[in-house]
Structure 1
């Protein structure tokens, strides 16, 4: 848990810790004959996106998107926000070169296991 970002993450590592607890319970030897409590995990998802409040039916794809974004924030190795690279990408580059340059610029600001 030493890779958790508590400085720039808006949820300060609580989402990854909540998910880790759920996974730990799922893989424990006694989990096969008891219910897994996901209330803390759900509360952290709700902190990230209030649209998941209550027990209404939600879109699974939307939930996955918010979950991955939250996990990315919690695991982002960039703990001090760097200045963005604002120069335009050279139009002479091939499409592959432009894509690579875009990815490098993204990674300049974002570095997590989710990437």
Structure 2
């Protein structure tokens, strides 16, 4: 135990002798003082707000559909590797049902956004 501790302390001392002098040679960084310049956001009409909502809905649809596909693949893996175990088969079936419900809800949400957009643009 003492030998391991001596080796550890020796290696730490050697590394500190090698690393600490290099810290002296680090250049000074002159950073900008103050807050960065903020970009202006132009939201002037209802169309701009609708475009932002549509973009968020598109991203959420993509994320939800990706997660649903991942869960479908996981459920298929559970179902195929169940080897007759009824609890794993039932768990896989429940995951498949939830994934299909998630897909339906995501598509309905996208449809609601499109309907709201058509009403606002008229």
The question of a shared fold, defined as TM-score above 0.5 by the shorter chain, is answered with no
Q: What is the TM-score of this pair, normalised by structure 1?
A: 0.29
**Relative contact order: is structure 1 or structure 2 higher (C-alpha 8 Å, sep ≥ 6)?**
1
Q: When you count helix as a share of all residues, which structure comes out higher?
A: 2
- Could you state the TM-score of these two structures normalised by the residue count of structure 2? 0.28
Point out the structure with max Rg over C-alpha.
2
